[in-house]
Amino acid sequence: MLNLIFCVSFSDAGLLGAAVAVCGGYGLCQTACNAAWVACYAAAGLVAGAATGGAAIPAAALACNALQGTCMASCAVSFLVL
């Protein structure tokens, strides 16, 4: 999976290094969430990206998707200043 990350930091110029570290940490956090999502699907016998949605989507896929959403939200709270 390819994640494109756009990070905007409102900080003093002297904090540029910290802003870069925050963006990098955010990207690593999202990558970990995505890896866990793929592993969750695999553990349920599913193929990540193959579920089409709708009423026929397996409950395990819904659970994996919910966990990924929670993980991604925690990345945003932990690494981004909104």
Q: What is the pLDDT of residues 34-82, one digit of tens each?
A: 999 999 999 999 988 776 777 778 899 999 999 999 999 999 888 776 5
Mean pLDDT for 13-18 is 50
DSSP the chain: ------------GGGHHHHHHHHHHHHHHHHHHHHHHHHHHHHTT--TT----STTS-HHHHHHHHHHHHHHHHHHHHH---
pTM of the model: 0.68
Please report the pLDDT score of residue 18 as a whole number: 57
Is 50 exceeded by the pLDDT of residue 2?
Answer: no
